[in-house]
Amino acid sequence: MLIPAGMSLALFVWLLTLHPAASGRVYAAYGGVYVVTALLWLRIVDGVKLSLYDWSGALVALCGMLIIVAGWGRA
């Protein structure tokens, strides 16, 4: 299971390098989407009530992502 997962991750990272923008910024934007999706999955599918730590961590991650994306055009 680890080998296919590693190969998928390597493919994903390689595809990021094909984007005309800096791949690190694209990956940061993807990270924000991933955090929101993971927490929605946890709440809706798994039925887990989100804690203050879940909300706080998501807020910090999304703020970081927004800072990076907002500065995209200025860099």
Residues 16-71: pLDDT tens digits? Answer: 778 777 777 877 888 888 898 999 999 999 999 999 999 999 999 999 989 988 88
User: Model-level pTM?
Assistant: 0.66
Domain layout of the chain by residue ranges? 2-74
* pLDDT, tens only, 21-34: 777 787 788 888 88
Tell me the CA distances in angstroms from 43 to 38, 57, 61, one per residue in order. 9, 15, 18
Does the pLDDT at position 1 exceed 80?
Answer: no
Residues 63 and 33: beta-carbon distance below 8 Å: no
- Which has the closest alpha carbon to 32: 74, 71, 63? 63
The contacts of residue 16 (CB under 8 Å, 6+ apart) are 23, 26, 27
**What is the model's pLDDT at position 24?**
76
